[in-house]
Amino acid sequence: MANSENKSLTKKAKKQPLSNTTLLLTITICTFFGMYLLGMAIWGGGFLNPQQFINLFNNNAYLIVIACGLTIVMITGGIDISVGGTIALITMTTVVVMDDFGGGIFTSILISLGIGLAMGLIQGYFIAYLKIQPFIVTLAGMFFTRGMTTIVSKVPRTAVHEAFVALKDHYIYIPFIGIHRHGNWIPSYIEIGAIISILVLVALWATLKWTRLGRNFYAVGGNQESALMLGINVQRTQFISYVLCGILAGIGGFVYLTHTGAGNASNATGAEMQAIASSIIGGTLLSGGVGSVIGTLFGVLSLKTINIIVVASGLREPYWQSITTGLMLAFFIVLQSVILDQRKKKLGNIAG
């Protein structure tokens, strides 16, 4: 019985091999749920509280948004390391405008998107049309935004605008999900930023899956020359990917602000590397052509869950989190490389 099942499985696999994207995605999702269930089984407590799960979204909404942007850029074969700096610049500028120049929520959104869009347009032009290495351009972008942040304001600022603070502290309580504690029913809440991030994620997922633009991203990243021969405007596609990443960094900046409500030069330090790490764990390859935003979401969640697990297991010193993150990255990177190598040998180049 088992044998025949096995056979039919292999037959199926032979007929329609999973694409690399799907395979890597499956691994990531399994890992995340495995880790979370392990957490529930061993430490219980916090892990059993649905709020803990929702907090993964609440606390990391900005990371989900920018990691999606990086995924798109990485699918087209590029890289963008300026997003963390862009977030810092956006938070600082927005808070300063709100506090000193009487801006409101609408202006904040406008500023966030404006800065993000400007960074995306400029960097995209340099990379796609002037053919300068993306790493160098976005590195300059990172230096520029980090430097500008301190030019805008040297001291950390906190938003005091009434309507904005109300928006920041507005928790949306979810009916039916919650926990009984000391006889009281405590419903779980979700922040506005988390909802924005989920909406962005869904929109991007649909774009990548069903639109021509989305397919162009994969084609350009997979093989530039054959994409060109298929009649795809490679330069424009690359340009759009950076513009999109910039806009997402803008949204990410606003989301960051709705979570912390403060402008600080050290905001989102290292966020770009965390976003890249999330994309990699989610199965995006830096060489381009492979990846998905759903994978990236689970990449972010896995990255943050392992940190919670490390703290729960008693290793409270902060350096343990970095070390375990590094180990997890190493595990995924090696796993991906081994799997892709094996498949290349087995299937040739069928699976794209």
Q: Which residues bind other proteins (CB under 8 A)?
A: 79, 126, 129-133, 135-137, 139-148, 150-151, 154, 265, 273, 276-277, 280, 286-287, 318-320, 322-323, 325-327, 329-330, 333-334, 337-338, 341
Q: Where are the alpha helices (DSSP H) in 16-104?
A: 20-42, 50-75, 83-100
Q: Are 20 and 343 in contact (CB under 8 A)?
A: yes
Nearer to other proteins, 19 or 287 (CB): 287
Nearer to other proteins, 72 or 265 (CB): 265
Nearer to other proteins, 188 or 278 (CB): 278
Q: Please state the closest distance from residue 28 (CB atom) to other proteins, in A.
A: 15
- Cα Rg of the chain, angstroms: 21
313 is written with which tokens?
A: 């297991």
Q: Please state the closest distance from residue 84 (CB atom) to other proteins, in A.
A: 12
Cα gap 50→7, rounded to integer Å: 41
Q: Please state the closest distance from residue 265 (CB atom) to other proteins, in A.
A: 7
Do the strands 157-158 and 262-263 form a parallel or antiparallel pair, or are they unpaired? Answer: antiparallel
Q: Please state the closest distance from residue 57 (CB atom) to other proteins, in A.
A: 23
Nearer to other proteins, 8 or 133 (CB): 133
Q: Are 64 and 236 in contact (CB under 8 A)?
A: no
Q: Are 173 and 189 in contact (CB under 8 A)?
A: yes
Nearer to other proteins, 36 or 126 (CB): 126
Nearest to 204 by CA among 291, 77, 89, 270: 291
Nearer to other proteins, 148 or 312 (CB): 148
225 is written with which tokens?
A: 């020359």
Q: Please state the closest distance from residue 340 (CB atom) to other proteins, in A.
A: 9
Q: Please state the closest distance from residue 115 (CB atom) to other proteins, in A.
A: 14
Nearer to other proteins, 129 or 210 (CB): 129
Collapsing DSSP to helix, strand or coil, 138 comes out as: helix
158 is written with which tokens?
A: 């906190």
Cα gap 120→82, rounded to integer Å: 10
Beta bridge partners of 191: 171
The vertex-267 CA angle with 59 and 125, nearest 5°, equals 105
Q: Please state the closest distance from residue 200 (CB atom) to other proteins, in A.
A: 24
Cα gap 98→211, rounded to integer Å: 38
